[in-house]
Chain A
Amino acid sequence: MDAERPPSEPAPADDPATDPVPPANARPVPSAPTDRGAVDRGDEGVDDEAAAPVPAVVAVVVARDDAPYLEGCLQALGASDYPDLTVLVIAATDAELTPRVATALPGAFVRSVPPGGMAAAANEVLGTVAGAPFLLFVHSDTVCDPRAVRLLVEEAYRSNAAIVGPKVVDVERSEILREVGWSVDRFGTPHSEIERDELDQEQHDAVRDVFFVTDVCMLVRADLFGELGGFDPDCDPGARELDLCWRARLAAARVIVAPEARVAHHEADGPEEQDRRLATRHRVRALLTNTSGVRLLWIAPVAFIVHCLEAVLFIFRRQPKRSGELMGAWMWNLGRLSSLTTARRRTQGARVVPDREIHALQFRGSVRMSAYVTTSLHAEDRVRTWSRRGRTVAETANTKFRSTRGLVLVAFLVLVLIGTRDLFLGRLATVGQFAPWPGVGDLLRAFTSEWRYADLGAHAPAPPMLVLAAVLRIVTLGSGGFARTLLVVGAVPVGAFGAQRVGRRIAGPGWPSTAVAVVYGIVPLTRNAVVAGRLGALVFFAVAPFVLLAITQLGGLVPSRRPAARVAIGGALALAVATAFWPLAVAFPLVVVLAAAVAAPLTGDSLAQLVRIARGSVIVVGVGLLALFPWPLAILGAGDRLGALGIGFAPIGSVGAVARLVTGPNGGGIGSWAFVVTGLAVTLVASGDRAVWCVRLWGMVLVAWVLTLLPNWLDTASPAVEAMLVPVALAFALMAGIGVATFLDEVRRHGLGWRQALSVVAAVTLTFAALGFVGDAVGGRWHQPTGDWNDTLSWTRLQQDRGPFRILWLGRADVVPGSPHRLGADAFALTNDGPGDLVDQLPPPGGAGTAAITAAVARLHAVATTRFGGLVGPMDVRYIAVPARPDPGPAAGTAVERNLVGALSQQLDLRQVDVVEGIRVYENTAWLPAAVASAGGSYLWSQQYSGSWHGERAGHTLVHRRAFGWTNRFVTGSKAPVSVAVTFDQQWWRWPLLLMEILIVAGLVRRARRRRRRDRQARVDLDAGPVSV
């Protein structure tokens, strides 16, 4: 057993080192425990079992470097209860191990190989071991439980598995789990379900399929190992087991973990085993080797992009080394294309299982943030870091939240989560402007296109909303639904946080600012915005406090510890984000100025003070618009500018609803008067500077109220009411905070009087409002519909085989999805190639095309045509949808729908399509399929006319004409359908503008960050609190 020979030297046939397990050792395989034969043996079972032949197992212990725990490893194997276990030590080291092996386990074989990688050493068994059905790869620092080998073999037979791994625990603390098999995401990054230092409470003790197990202890069917050619040395270290198991999977072999078998691991692997750079390279290699050719076409670019984004994030996190590792991994593999191709040929040649079955075993596309954290950002390090940081934060938070104030904030956040649980666990209905978000590529393509395809098209820059959505989608690793829900629900806590920040300055820190945050968070506006699908209103709600804080700081109304430039840039960027989703948000600073001016006679604000506020507002607006450049210029185009600004909804006429901030099903009841009552009560109770602030805030309330009600008085279209009332909500929340501050500072110190009574009234009414918030949370989705038309009409997306088309939505503005255009009591909207997505939102004014479709819809309303389909056919309108409500369900319909349906039922070229209750859908028989549009001597290109459209057929430029007064016609001269290539000549113009846009935003961010660094050096804490005016 002490035989040892250099590997280059031919070994004699009888040398146990070269043929340690002769074929004669391969005894018949025992039946599995569940095998009928074994059970039928009855009383003979026990004796027979003891005497039954077992498959031979060769334990391959690869010893490298000093192998400090080798003895323990061998002794544990020697203590194994498996009757036919042979131990082979591969000594891949210069150290002399034979004496140690002989001492620890005299029966073990030793084979010396040159020092090198684990894979190469382990592969030695390919030529040296024969006849044994199983190989057990064991690290030299692994201590196997005596039952482990037997349990692994038994499970291999029971589950018909080719590779089986045990549960790996810590040596010192056997209750700590180290491994229970590994999963992998689509980009080849391993993922373990167990957390760092997770306690073993048998929670992972089920036998299950895993993507791979490590060779800390790995039982492999010897024939499979031979067929696969062993480990791939080019994937070693870091991915040899992943690669082996992946290839085994491709060969239709099962890989499982049998947690009943336990081994302990010292984790004393050599430094190269922990080399993250090598591991990253080899995982990419495994990915590129084992993915099928077709799937590789998209997996490889996507993986590269994901890794690029991770690299960018690491740079931002000041971890350039890790960023370099990621990029270096791809460069390293690109430099070994030849080796990669050979490995691919070998792997794909042995493939039995298609990739779609393999993908079912992989971590699905990183659809959740948690997946992002635990997979693509290399969970082990991050979790460790986060765990450490988390403990610190938790300790700090624990101290803070033990206070009543903290508990109130926690309760508020918990209620938000409870109230929106169904939106996260279920789905956010795509009502109103909650349109689905297309893929990142589509969003970026739409954003970088010089031509906007929304509505009937226009030569206008795309809204930055698209790129913000793309970024959010990237952050959530492609999960558009999750990103959308995050944006919608996150608006409430973010807004409350902002309100708390501005509340600290205006009302004071502590309880007052907490009250501001909570009251701002519980106003029913946001819940009703979620019901109605007002995405812009929610984003505006989230950032409005930050903008107000910036303006008040720039105007000198509250102190600032930051330089003015940084304050201005911060406020402007916040305003830019809100404006990107709701264009009218840009007017918010002007509302603040107007409010200050209205209140000035009572507040005593001087003209100079007003000028300062106005100057601050102008700066914020100006820089905000600059950050959005050149999109704001799109509004200047001809057409429906009001629609482009989001002014397309029915005006609200109920003063009560406006005063109570109740614009939907949430927040009804007596509690909704709480905000007005509190505002009035606080104004009467407050004194001094606080009273002045109350008056200013009432100025903001009145201005916002008037602006909200103005469209009804003028009988015109209105912006989203929920957004218009955000300043009111913010003002009431701040007044509530001022009320709390007043009560704490002054009122409670005096005896019982009218001020105390008013304070009690305000507190009681606010309690009612809070109860309303709690009540709305019960349902779990704030009364948001569970269905939507996007889902119902999803089948229309499959109708593109005959050419591009549009859906014309008609009806009330509150049920028409997307960005509606107002026409009388009705509204209409257009979506492209289906029920619409984010790209169709915020269409530019639209010029002659919008005028044409507005005229057509007006004719329909007046029943001045029975060929409406013919009117909108050239606009590619194939379907006309008339929803009576925002989601499927029974609906009586209002006069608007009845009149529309009456008019549509008279149309001779519309065919009604049966769908669900709550919507009527008509198919336009006058719609021109692509084949027809390109026949008859001309090709109709149903985009708004522009001289920059260019048509080519067979390399020849076609004559371009205006058709129907608004669209494009290319003269083909062919009666038969022809193929025409249409391009927009001015696309090149987009790139410099885009570069300018990037430079502007980057410049602003850089300037703000530079200020921040300087500021850190010389920060002077100012007392937070109300400032003397």
Chain B
Amino acid sequence: MSVLRRAGFVVGIVIALIVAAVVTTTGTPRDRAVATGPRVSATAGSSTWYCAEGTSIPNGRADEEIVLGNVGRTKSVAVVTVFSGSDVKPVRRTVPVAAGAVARVKVSDLLAAAEPGVLVEVRGGPTAVEHQIQRGTDLALGPCAREPVRRVSFAGGSTMKGAELWLALFNPFPDDAIVDVRGITGDGIRSPGVLQGVVVPRFSRISVPVHDAIPRTDLVAVEMTVRRGRAVGEQSLALDGTDGRQGLALSEGGTAARRWAFPIALTGSGHQERLVLANGSNRDVRVTVRFALDAAAAVEPETLILPGTTALAVDTSRVPPDVGFSVVIRADAPIVAEMVGASGAPQPVEARGLASDLGFSDGAQRWAVVPARLAAGSTDTLAIVSMDGRAHRLQLVRTDGKRPRVVARVKVPASGRQLVDLAKLVPSVNVALTVQADGAVVVERESTRPGVTRSHAIPG
């Protein structure tokens, strides 16, 4: 081989290799992100839940009960710890939860405290943890938080006469937290000094009476920001009937998003719905609200401008009365949306109450419903909405037996909702259910008798 041919051969190989490698190789090291979020662990492992709101003393504002539902096929063990202050030794109880079963722990059985914060650490099968609070004849159920977050927003608050709006701040961590709270109202931002720099001592829970700090305001969308340390926030709203609504609602809050879905809504015959939108940013946001009715009728979408730093209630009066519907909201910038439903006369007394639920911003294929039945004799309904605009099939599965058992198979339309009456499918009370879909759906439950409550099913 001549020198020139040899050199040309080498040069050719080198250039070809460089070109091939450049074409086939990415230029940056790959990041392999690990997903985190408030989900039920799909596999055996451990999970921790933070239940902020609730009391455990007689005549407290919200008697609290922890509900643990194991949606897996292996048993789990939960350690329930109640914190009541930095200087008070926390009280612990270990609670076994059988596969597919639901266990309940009244917080007052562990510790009687005005400010109890409950931490639940689960090991074993995938277990969802919710908590239920009760005041008078009404109760509210909602999932506990899976992690502390830097900022949490609530939309459906009110501090009008007869209203108590409490923000419960729970810090089970070893360092103190400092939290700033502000309210987004119909008239703009309200940031009272008393709500700034709220110290949440380590291993303690405190309650912030927002109704005292921002009094007599119809719409108060509370926004909580953790300035230092870590904390979990949860909100409860109690109405005494002064404005025609009465009962207790619980909201776990969320972060602003561009899309929201509300599977459950109903007006007429004593039912009223208030859909509250809150925009914490300084810019105006264009919002489109679509109503999907259970009946054949249709309602035109409503487009509105949500001014910056403002909260407003969407007019739902165009929806025909006594027709169930779902709502999907799209905004051109992140906002927070919450639906507050109230049931009053002429509904029977045991079916009256207040219920609120932040909307869904993301769908999932798998949801845990814990408990499937709120109580013996309760009316429990699941409402399922497709989040990707396509119809989906799904099945409801019980895992309390030796083998998972499908208790129902249903279809979810591309638009609109699918209702499932759990009372017919699951006679027993302490059972956990899993909803398994072939696409992204959202699942919300409503339970009545006693009281009225709505809550998210738990993804994962």
B1, B45, B173: most-surrounded residue (chain A CB, <10 A):
B173
Which single residue of chain B is at the shortest CB-CB distance from A604? Answer: B1
**A974 to B61, alpha carbons, bound, how many Å?**
48
Chain B residues whose CB sits within 8 angstroms of the CB of A912 once the complex forms: 175, 229-230
Contact A656 B22 (CB under 8 A): yes
B7, B15, B27: most-surrounded residue (chain A CB, <10 A):
B7
Chain B residues whose CB sits within 8 angstroms of the CB of A715 once the complex forms: 30
What 0/1 readout, one digit per residue, does chain B (24-43) give for beta carbons within 8 Å of chain A? 01111111111010000100
Given the contacts A680-B15, A863-B34, A906-B147, A687 and B28 also touching, CB distance less than 8 Å = no
B359 on the A face (CB < 8 A): no
Contact A655 B10 (CB under 8 A): no
Q: Which chain B residues numbered 153 to 182 have a C-beta less than 8 Å away from chain A?
A: 172-175
Contact A702 B36 (CB under 8 A): no
Which single residue of chain B is at the shortest CB-CB distance from A682? Answer: B7
A680, A705, A863, A895: most-surrounded residue (chain B CB, <10 A):
A863
Which of A683, A866, A895 is in CB contact (< 8 Å) with B46?
A: A866
Which single residue of chain B is at the shortest CB-CB distance from A824? Answer: B32
B218 on the A face (CB < 8 A): no
A864 on the B face (CB < 8 A): yes
Which single residue of chain B is at the shortest CB-CB distance from A681? Answer: B11
A825 on the B face (CB < 8 A): yes
Which single residue of chain A is at the shortest CB-CB distance from B29? Answer: A650
B58 on the A face (CB < 8 A): no
**A898 to B32, alpha carbons, bound, how many Å?**
12
A896 on the B face (CB < 8 A): yes
Given the contacts A653-B27, A709-B21, A911-B173, A862 and B34 also touching, CB distance less than 8 Å = yes
Chain A residues whose CB sits within 8 angstroms of the CB of B4 once the complex forms: 684
Contact B6 A602 (CB under 8 A): yes
Chain A residues whose CB sits within 8 angstroms of the CB of B46 once the complex forms: 864-866
A640 on the B face (CB < 8 A): no
Contact A602 B175 (CB under 8 A): no
A894 on the B face (CB < 8 A): yes
What 0/1 readout, one digit per residue, does chain A (817-829) give for beta carbons within 8 Å of chain B? 0000000110000
Given the contacts A825-B32, A899-B34, A688 and B48 also touching, CB distance less than 8 Å = no
A925 on the B face (CB < 8 A): yes
B8 on the A face (CB < 8 A): yes
Q: Which chain A residues numbered 851 to 874 have a C-beta less than 8 Å away from chain B?
A: 861-867
Contact A651 B29 (CB under 8 A): yes
Given the contacts A709-B25, A902-B36, A655 and B7 also touching, CB distance less than 8 Å = no
**A912 to B175, alpha carbons, bound, how many Å?**
7
Chain B's nearest CB lies how many Å from the CB of A697? 10
**A619 to B452, alpha carbons, bound, how many Å?**
84
Contact B174 A864 (CB under 8 A): no
Which single residue of chain A is at the shortest CB-CB distance from B27? Answer: A654
B18 on the A face (CB < 8 A): yes
Contact B1 A712 (CB under 8 A): no
Chain A's nearest CB lies how many Å from the CB of B413? 35
Which of B34, B48, B175 is in CB contact (< 8 Å) with A866?
A: B48
What 0/1 readout, one digit per residue, does chain A (648-677) give for beta carbons within 8 Å of chain B? 001111111101000000000000000010
Given the contacts A680-B11, A866-B121, A903 and B25 also touching, CB distance less than 8 Å = no
B119 on the A face (CB < 8 A): yes
**A651 to B29, alpha carbons, bound, how many Å?**
7
Chain A residues whose CB sits within 8 angstroms of the CB of B148 once the complex forms: 905-906
Which single residue of chain A is at the shortest CB-CB distance from B9? Answer: A602
What 0/1 readout, one digit per residue, does chain A (686-708) give for beta carbons within 8 Å of chain B? 11100100110010011001000
Q: Which chain A residues numbered 588 to 615 have a C-beta less than 8 Å away from chain B?
A: 602
Contact A910 B7 (CB under 8 A): no
**A398 to B25, alpha carbons, bound, how many Å?**
51
Chain B residues whose CB sits within 8 angstroms of the CB of A676 once the complex forms: 14, 18
Chain B residues whose CB sits within 8 angstroms of the CB of A654 once the complex forms: 25, 27-28
Q: Which chain B residues numbered 179 to 236 have a C-beta less than 8 Å away from chain A?
A: 229-230
Chain B residues whose CB sits within 8 angstroms of the CB of A824 once the complex forms: 32, 34
B305 on the A face (CB < 8 A): no
Chain A's nearest CB lies how many Å from the CB of B92? 13
B91 on the A face (CB < 8 A): no
Which single residue of chain A is at the shortest CB-CB distance from B43? Answer: A864
Contact B174 A909 (CB under 8 A): yes
B414 on the A face (CB < 8 A): no
**A339 to B30, alpha carbons, bound, how many Å?**
74
Contact A911 B174 (CB under 8 A): yes
A908 on the B face (CB < 8 A): yes
Interface range, A side: 35 or more
Chain A's nearest CB lies how many Å from the CB of B41? 8
Which of B3, B25, B119 is in CB contact (< 8 Å) with A653?
A: B25
Chain B residues whose CB sits within 8 angstroms of the CB of A709 once the complex forms: 21, 25
Chain A residues whose CB sits within 8 angstroms of the CB of B11 once the complex forms: 680, 683-684
B376 on the A face (CB < 8 A): no
**A712 to B48, alpha carbons, bound, how many Å?**
36
Chain B residues whose CB sits within 8 angstroms of the CB of A705 once the complex forms: 17
**A924 to B173, alpha carbons, bound, how many Å?**
11
Contact A894 B1 (CB under 8 A): no
Contact A906 B48 (CB under 8 A): yes
Contact B29 A684 (CB under 8 A): no
**A908 to B36, alpha carbons, bound, how many Å?**
16
**A824 to B1, alpha carbons, bound, how many Å?**
48
Chain B residues whose CB sits within 8 angstroms of the CB of A691 once the complex forms: 3, 6-7
Q: Which chain A residues numbered 880 to 911 have a C-beta less than 8 Å away from chain B?
A: 894-896, 898-899, 902-903, 905-906, 908-911
**A149 to B28, alpha carbons, bound, how many Å?**
78
Chain A's nearest CB lies how many Å from the CB of B91? 16
Chain A residues whose CB sits within 8 angstroms of the CB of B29 once the complex forms: 650-653, 712, 825
Contact B18 A655 (CB under 8 A): yes
Contact A653 B26 (CB under 8 A): yes
Which single residue of chain B is at the shortest CB-CB distance from A689? Answer: B3
Contact A895 B25 (CB under 8 A): no
Which of B21, B45, B119, B121 is in CB contact (< 8 Å) with A655?
A: B21
**A895 to B35, alpha carbons, bound, how many Å?**
10
Chain A residues whose CB sits within 8 angstroms of the CB of B8 once the complex forms: 684
Given the contacts A861-B34, A899-B33, A903-B34, A712 and B175 also touching, CB distance less than 8 Å = no
**A683 to B147, alpha carbons, bound, how many Å?**
61
Given the contacts A906-B148, A908-B119, A910-B174, A602 and B31 also touching, CB distance less than 8 Å = no
Contact B173 A694 (CB under 8 A): no
Contact B121 A695 (CB under 8 A): no
Contact B36 A903 (CB under 8 A): yes
Chain A's nearest CB lies how many Å from the CB of B145? 10
Chain A's nearest CB lies how many Å from the CB of B55? 23
Contact B36 A863 (CB under 8 A): yes
Which single residue of chain B is at the shortest CB-CB distance from A685? Answer: B7
**A602 to B48, alpha carbons, bound, how many Å?**
65
Residues of B within 8 A of A (CB): 1, 3-4, 6-11, 13-15, 17-18, 21-22, 25-34, 36, 41, 45-46, 48, 119, 121, 147-148, 172-175, 229-230
- Contacts beyond the supplied A652-B29, A684-B4, A715-B30: 13 A-B pairs with Cβ under 8 Å: A602-B1, A653-B25, A655-B25, A687-B3, A694-B7, A695-B6, A701-B14, A702-B13, A702-B14, A862-B34, A895-B31, A898-B33, A899-B34
- Smallest CB-CB A-B distances: 8 pairs: A655-B21, A866-B48, A825-B32, A895-B31, A911-B175, A911-B174, A650-B29, A654-B27
- Offer 24 A-B interface pairs, CB within 8 angstroms, sorted by A: A602-B10, A650-B29, A651-B29, A652-B29, A653-B25, A653-B26, A655-B21, A659-B18, A680-B11, A683-B7, A684-B7, A686-B7, A694-B10, A709-B21, A713-B25, A863-B34, A864-B46, A866-B121, A899-B33, A899-B36, A902-B36, A908-B119, A909-B174, A911-B175
